[in-house]
Structure 1
Amino acid sequence: MSKPTPNTPPERPNESPSNKQDGTVEERVDTTLPDAQPVVDRVQDTPATNVSLISGNSKPRQYKVNNPSFFMQRGYQVLLVLGLIAAFFLVMVYQTLFGRIEQPQQMVTIEQGQTYYGLLPQWQNQIPLFSASVAKLYIKSQVDAPLHAGIYQLPENPTIAEALQILEQGAKAAMVKVQIIEGKTSKDLYQALRDNDNIEKEVLTAGSDNASIAQALDLAGILPDSVTNSSDPIVNHNLEGWFAPDTYYYGEGTSDKKVLTDLYKRQQKALTDAWENRAPDLPYNSPYEALVMASIIEKETSVPEERPLVSAVFRNRLIKNMRMQTDPTIIYGMGSRYDGNIRRKDIDEKTSYNTYQIDGLPPTPIALPSAASIEATLHPADSDALYFVATGNGGHKFTNSLAEHNQAVKDYLSVMREKKSQTPPQ
């Protein structure tokens, strides 16, 4: 009986023995179709199996790829940041040294003991992106000479580099000190300049008077007609009050004309600024009248806190059409006749300035007022006081009525008698 043959598929004609031996499958081509393609081509066109569906891992596998562009991008970012920092630093340096200060051409006074570094806060407030550290480094490396006291003229809208160059020049010139104390007169100023051998005399020549000085300084228009046309020699062309008191330094050989012109410009600016910002309802019709009042306030008190109160008293008296009755005006009107004492006959004498005998303000200022007195004139205290008298212990007593004032006078006289009794005889 024969064994049944296994049910095996018949051999295809195109299979070869070698295929059977190595167990590999050879690519087959269906020759029955004219455009037959290898089977492998159809396999390649089929999408690859997503292994995540088999493994159950929803996150596809990631393979590390050596990508040099990543490091190049990070490098560009670092370079960009460094470039921005460098650009900002350069702008800051440029602004510090070459950024311009918004200001007109003006005179700047440097006092004894001031330093370059002490000027930096002012510049820092005026120049955007100003760096004090950069400025200090520049000063340390570029400025050789110490800051010298004096008056320097800065150009319009200067840079810090230009300003430092101008200030540095001051150390190369010998400087002359010109000191004018608040409350002194223009006559005192003229004499101080005449006595200074290092100041060239161009205006204050022998025989010069008020009219010739005003003409030499070319200050036409700053005086009222009542002053320029006055028959009183003290009043006529008197420039009293128009020069700012302070301590100044000038190079040797500077002319008196330059000194007087500089002091006038400073006083004019202080008066103009204060006038433009004055309090309302003041009894002054012009800046010049305010300058007259400021000079009286300057002479009446040396206590800074009292200036607005003194200003209030005189404002109140003028509004009420009361005479000012201030002793310094008597003294100024007496001129060279004043010997240190005011007598009854001096109070009764009617001069151009004696406010016990004339109504309103005197014709000109009676001293060189400070900027603080000008400010006090145009911003008086909120007070109804009409009188004030010295206390004898420093300062003044301010009162609203004549009765209170008379009592304050008695108190003052009592204090003075007490002090006199305690003074040992000479």
Structure 2
Amino acid sequence: MSKPTPERPNESPPNKQDSTVGERVDTAQPDPQPVKEAPATDVSLISGEGKPREYKVDNPSFFMQRGYQVLLVLGLIAAFLLVMVYQTLFGRIEQPAQMVTIEKGQTYYGLLPQWQQQIPLFSASVAKLYIKSQVDAPLHAGIYQLPENPTMAEALQVLEQGAKAAMVKVQIIEGKTSQDLYQTLRDNNGIKKEVLTADSDNTSIAQALDLVGILPSAVVNSSDPIVNHNLEGWFAPDTYYYGEGTSDKQVLTDLYKRQQQTLTEAWENRAADLPYKTPYEALIMASIIEKETSVVEERPLVAAVFKNRLDKGMRMQTDPTIIYGMGSRYDGNIRRKDIDEKTSYNTYQIDGLPPTPIALPSAASIEATLHPADSDALYFVATGTGGHKFTSSLAEHNQAVKEYLSVMREKKSQTPPQ
């Protein structure tokens, strides 16, 4: 019996390789998973187009972006505030160089609303802080010369000078004459005399102020000493405050400019169909109205009476013109011989207007002249109890005169003897 041959350790069993191959072939394998394609790159994340990149809250880029936005907003606010502060202090008011009158009791804060209207982005709060921190003294009454197109800071600097100078009062009452004005300035020790010297007259005053050109040739060349170079009417009556040492030339020039501005503005807005050919003729009429009544409400009616008389070719017949033409001869009474005397001004004896104004008219009288009341009245006379009675016929006027005389006789009878 033959013995079986023992297996060698290194020998593979028969058909081992085949068996292995068979096992690989026969063994069932699961279906392979389909391979997913990589997503297409979002171009918007590179180019910045489309929807913005979204970050998670814990992403550092999120906080950087928010920080930039906050800084941008704060920067815009700061820039706006800087512009507002700059405009408030250094924004320019569009206006020519001009005189500004500050009345007693006015304050710096009271000027802010006007500046707020004229300066874009003007802040009253910023202005108040600036005034509180920079201006030490209160606002003083006076006349101040502001430069052309000033800033608020420049205007405050000019106004602040009033606190450092002694002020003198110059009071010019409505209806007073230019001679009254000249004497007021002569008597004021705080006003330096340059024009109103001891030997000054109408001609020298007009030439010293360089105002000859505003007068009609008939006034400049008149042989009547009252008329010749007479600047009557050209100075605005009011109460003014000037720094001590201001010259009379400065005061007169300022008052002239103010009156000229008032007359020019009123003339440009005048009513239609007036009998005045020039602003100067309107100034003459305004001075007569100023002398005829001190009742503001009556001025348009008085203006209507004189307009109606001129339209009809009637003489004006106003007593104040008699008085002015008499000059220094007037002693408080008008007599029959004064009415009958033909002077350059007596409107009982001359046709139309006198050659110059007879007083310094107020702005209210100038306005009334150029906007008379709608009335057909041709006469007026004092009532004796205040004001005047206006009538349209001579018969009515004569009756009003009788009533006036009766009132005056009654008053005289009740007056105790001296």
Q: TM-score, normalised by structure 1?
A: 0.85
What residue is the counterpart of 2:385 in the other structure?
Answer: 393
Q: Matches of 2:334 and 2:38 in 1, distance apart?
A: 126
What residue is the counterpart of 2:79 in the other structure?
Answer: 87
Q: Matches of 2:200 and 2:270 in 1, distance apart?
A: 36
DSSP 3-state at the match of 1:44? coil
More divergent stretch after superposition (364-373 vs 86-95):
86-95
Task: Report the Cα offset of residue 12 of structure 1.
Answer: 6.8
**1:180 is matched with which residue: 141, 164, 172?**
172
Q: Cα gap change, 1:12/1:244 in structure 2, threshold over 3 Å: closer, same or farther?
A: farther
**1:367 is matched with which residue: 359, 379, 389?**
359
DSSP 3-state at the match of 1:221? helix
Alpha-carbon contact 2:100-2:146 (below 8 Å) kept: yes
What residue is the counterpart of 1:287 in the other structure?
Answer: 279
Matched AA of 1:131: S
Q: Matches of 1:93 and 1:294 in 2, distance apart?
A: 47
Task: Report the Cα offset of residue 83 of structure 1.
Answer: 2.9
Q: Cα gap change, 1:14/1:417 in structure 2, threshold over 3 Å: closer, same or farther?
A: farther
DSSP 3-state at the match of 2:145? strand
Matched AA of 1:291: L
The answer as to 2:158 corresponding to 1:166 is: yes
What residue is the counterpart of 2:207 in the other structure?
Answer: 215
DSSP 3-state at the match of 1:14? helix
Q: Cα gap change, 1:129/1:65 in structure 2, threshold over 3 Å: closer, same or farther?
A: closer
Q: Matches of 1:408 and 1:400 in 2, distance apart?
A: 11
The answer as to 2:263 corresponding to 1:271 is: yes
Q: Matches of 2:217 and 2:79 in 1, distance apart?
A: 62
Q: Cα gap change, 1:226/1:76 in structure 2, threshold over 3 Å: closer, same or farther?
A: same
Task: Report the Cα offset of residue 72 of structure 1.
Answer: 4.3
Q: Matches of 1:284 and 1:65 in 2, distance apart?
A: 84
**1:14 is matched with which residue: 24, 30, 43?**
24
Q: Matches of 2:125 and 2:37 in 1, distance apart?
A: 71
More divergent stretch after superposition (388-397 vs 155-164):
388-397
The answer as to 2:115 corresponding to 1:126 is: no
Correspondence 1:23-422 to 2 at 5 A? 39-40=32-33, 42-45=34-37, 66-422=58-414
What are the Cα deviations for residues 297-338 of structure 1, in whole angstroms up to 9, with x where unaligned? 111111111111111111111011111111110111111111
What residue is the counterpart of 2:9 in the other structure?
Answer: none
Alpha-carbon contact 2:212-2:220 (below 8 Å) kept: no
Task: Report the Cα offset of residue 15 of structure 1.
Answer: 9.1
Q: Cα gap change, 1:258/1:13 in structure 2, threshold over 3 Å: closer, same or farther?
A: same
Q: Matches of 1:262 and 1:313 in 2, distance apart?
A: 33
What are the Cα deviations for residues 21-54 of structure 1, in whole angstroms up to 9, with x where unaligned? xxxx9888xxxxxxxxxx34x243599xxxxxxx
Unaligned runs of 5+ in 2: 1-20, 40-55
Q: Cα gap change, 1:153/1:65 in structure 2, threshold over 3 Å: closer, same or farther?
A: closer
Q: Matches of 1:84 and 1:389 in 2, distance apart?
A: 71
Identity %: 87
Q: Matches of 1:279 and 1:303 in 2, distance apart?
A: 22
What are the Cα deviations for residues 164-186 of structure 1, in whole angstroms up to 9, with x where unaligned? 00100111111111111111000
Matched AA of 2:89: L
Matched AA of 1:163: A
Q: Matches of 2:108 and 2:349 in 1, distance apart?
A: 53
Task: Report the Cα offset of residue 88 of structure 1.
Answer: 2.2
DSSP 3-state at the match of 1:359? coil
Matched AA of 1:13: E
DSSP 3-state at the match of 1:369? coil
What residue is the counterpart of 1:53 in the other structure?
Answer: none
Task: Report the Cα offset of residue 67 of structure 1.
Answer: 4.5
Q: Cα gap change, 1:66/1:197 in structure 2, threshold over 3 Å: closer, same or farther?
A: closer
Matched AA of 2:24: N
Matched AA of 1:241: G
Matched AA of 2:154: E
Q: Matches of 1:161 and 1:355 in 2, distance apart?
A: 53
What are the Cα deviations for residues 86-125 of structure 1, in whole angstroms up to 9, with x where unaligned? 2222222221111111110111111222111111121112
Q: Cα gap change, 1:349/1:12 in structure 2, threshold over 3 Å: closer, same or farther?
A: farther
Q: Matches of 1:126 and 1:46 in 2, distance apart?
A: 67
What residue is the counterpart of 1:56 in the other structure?
Answer: none
Q: Matches of 1:46 and 1:193 in 2, distance apart?
A: 102
Alpha-carbon contact 2:89-2:152 (below 8 Å) kept: yes
Q: Matches of 2:22 and 2:316 in 1, distance apart?
A: 142
